């Protein structure tokens, strides 16, 4: 089954691709051409409208990605484009296709997502898992589906008792253990091993070293914040005095509006010392005077004019983990964020001070790293 049943004329795809380029900042770079084929003209106009309304880049990127998936799923499951508004029956079908019981699937092949639908989505590069989706993923896609419906001035059945009941029963039938985004935190000892693999003066080593040091030292920045960092966000500050009395370079990073900030709030974090030196070495070698700070490098050593995709930041972390001889499956880019707070706890840095740099708003979430550090070093863990 082909996800894209109606064959679009090349000029129509080109027109949509050009329109999508005007909102390039919110789209996954590696999927832009595929989205140009999947999304309808009205979808593109809706996304452009949301950009003009000033919605956050990360939120828009998730909306665009989920919209592309929903359009492809609807075509694969019903042979028709996604209807607006979606009827309740289609919402229930979506839940049934994505939340199901693997044990029952073994005795009932019709249970869950049909094989041909799953194959069509995998062929299009939109489905990676072979089992049921995480309830959080299904909930997010339904929430974004509802948001997009409202932005079209339409009402949907997203609050219907039948849909709520179906979600509740499906989640209960398929219990899932909540896992950390990174199985292990990238603490300073792990970071040192990763940095040791970036010891040459090659562009890749200089870039990756700067990414690792800046992401960690700036409070464990999210991969989207690292990938989207621009030279214009950096401000040189007055030097600060080091422990030995020597002056250390200081830099502020204006993050603007982030996942945890309020509307219109400019989040600012600071870098001091070695991370700034690593960053300056990369900028000088890559001859970057403005625009995106972290960029792709092709096989011939040419630096791209485009920003890295957030996924590329995760790939860089995993590549350095492998080069360091560590278990790749244990670490991800989010390990830098977890590692920053874990290291702060290990060094006895007060939680409010660490949160000022990490920009966590939830004391409960941030304190879990501190509680773990206390338990590991406490007397209760050293009974023998």
β-partners of residue 355 are none
CA 384, CA 375: separation in Å to the nearest integer? 15
Q: Closest Cα to residue 317, out of 229, 211, 202, 236?
A: 211
Task: Report helix angle 363-377 to 351-358, nearest 10.
Answer: 130
DSSP string across 204-233? HHHHHHHHHHHHHHTTS--HHHHHT-BGGG
The answer, yes or no, to whether residue 382 has pLDDT greater than 70, is no
Residue 29 in this model has a pLDDT that exceeds 60: no
E-strand ranges in 15-115 read none
Model confidence pLDDT, tens digit, residues 74-124: 999 999 989 989 999 999 999 999 988 887 888 888 888 999 998 999 888
Stronger pLDDT, 129 or 166, i.e. the higher one: 166
Q: How confident is the model at residue 337 (pLDDT cuts 50, 70, 90)?
A: confident
Q: Is the pLDDT of residue 378 over 90?
A: no
Query: Helix, strand, or coil here: 333?
Result: coil
What is the pLDDT of the chain when averaged over all its residues? 81
Q: How confident is the model at residue 37 (pLDDT cuts 50, 70, 90)?
A: low
C-alpha–C-alpha distance, residues 286 and 139, integer Å: 42
Contacts 24+ apart (CB under 8 A), 194-200: 194/317, 194/320, 194/321, 194/323, 194/324, 196/324, 197/320, 197/323, 197/324, 198/320
- 224-278 pLDDT per residue, tens: 899 989 999 999 999 988 888 889 999 999 987 555 554 445 688 898 999 999 9
- For residues 18-40, give the mean pLDDT: 57
pLDDT, position 131: 81
C-alpha dist (Å) from residue 8 to 22, 32, 72, 78, 201 = 21, 16, 14, 19, 47
**Strand positions, DSSP E, 242-356:** 247-256, 267-272, 295-297, 303-307
Residue 174 has pLDDT above 50, yes or no: yes
- What pLDDT was estimated at residue 34? 62
Q: Which residues, at least 6 apart from 173, have a Cβ–Cβ distance to it below 8 Å?
A: 99, 100, 101
Give me the DSSP letters along 308-321. PPHHHHHHHHHHHH
> pLDDT band for position 198 (50/70/90)?
very high
Higher model confidence: residue 320 or residue 162?
320
pLDDT of residue 213: 95
> What's residue 276's pLDDT?
95
Q: Which DSSP string do the residues of 21-33 spell out, in sequence order?
A: HTTGGGS-GGGHH
Helix axes 57-78, 115-123, angle to 10 degrees: 130
> So what's the pLDDT on residue 383?
54
Helices (H) and strands (E) in the chain, counts: 17, 5
Has residue 26 got a pLDDT over 80? Answer: no
Q: Name the CA radius of gyration of the chain, rounded.
A: 23
* Rounded Cα gap, residues 107 and 269, in angstroms: 54
- Lowest mean per-residue pLDDT among 58-67, 69-78, 370-379: 370-379
3-state helix, strand, coil in the chain (%, to 5): 55, 10, 35
Percent of the chain clearing pLDDT 70 (strictly above): 76
Rounded to an integer, what distance in angstroms lies between the CA atom of residue 273 and that of residue 351?
A: 22
Q: Does residue 279 register a pLDDT over 90? A: yes
The architecture that CATH gives domain 188-381 is Orthogonal Bundle (1.10)
Give domain limits for the chain: 10-173, 188-381
| Global model pTM greater than 0.85 | no
pLDDT tens profile 39-62: 777 777 777 777 666 666 667 777
């Amino acid at each position: 089954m082909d996800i894209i049943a109606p064959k679009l004329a090349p000029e129509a795809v080109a027109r949509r691709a050009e329109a999508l380029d005007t909102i390039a900042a919110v789209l996954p770079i590696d999927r832009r051409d595929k989205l140009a084929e999947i999304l309808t003209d009205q979808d593109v106009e809706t996304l452009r409208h949301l950009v003009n309304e000033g919605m956050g880049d990360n939120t828009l990127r998730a909306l665009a990605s989920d919209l592309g998936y929903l359009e492809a799923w609807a075509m694969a499951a019903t042979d028709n484009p996604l209807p607006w508004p979606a009827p309740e029956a289609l919402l229930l079908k979506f839940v049934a296709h994505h939340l199901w019981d693997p044990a029952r699937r073994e005795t009932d092949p019709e249970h869950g997502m049909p094989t041909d639908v799953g194959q069509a989505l995998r062929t299009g590069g939109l489905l990676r898992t072979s089992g049921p989706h995480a309830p959080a993923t299904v909930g997010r896609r339904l929430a974004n589906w509802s948001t997009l419906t409202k932005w079209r001035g339409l009402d949907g059945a997203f609050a219907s008792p039948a849909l709520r009941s179906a979600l509740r029963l499906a989640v209960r039938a398929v219990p899932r253990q909540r896992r950390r985004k990174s199985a292990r935190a990238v603490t300073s000892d792990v970071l040192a091993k990763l940095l040791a693999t970036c010891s040459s003066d090659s562009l890749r080593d200089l870039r990756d070293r700067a990414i690792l040091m800046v992401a960690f030292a700036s409070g464990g920045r999210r991969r989207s914040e690292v990938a989207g960092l621009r030279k214009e966000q950096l401000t040189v500050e007055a030097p600060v005095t080091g422990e030995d009395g020597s002056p250390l370079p200081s830099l502020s990073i204006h993050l603007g509006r982030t996942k945890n900030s309020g509307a219109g709030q400019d989040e600012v974090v600071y870098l001091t010392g070695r991370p700034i030196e690593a960053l300056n070495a990369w900028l000088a070698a890559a001859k970057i005077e403005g625009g995106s700070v972290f960029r792709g490098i092709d096989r011939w050593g040419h630096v791209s004019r485009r920003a890295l995709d957030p996924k590329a930041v995760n790939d860089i972390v995993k590549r350095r983990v492998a080069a360091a001889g560590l278990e790749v499956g244990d670490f991800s880019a989010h390990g830098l964020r977890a590692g920053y707070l874990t290291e702060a706890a290990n060094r006895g840095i007060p939680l409010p001070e660490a949160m000022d740099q990490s920009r966590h708003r939830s004391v409960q979430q941030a304190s879990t790293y501190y509680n773990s550090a206390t338990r590991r070093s406490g007397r209760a863990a050293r009974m023998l």
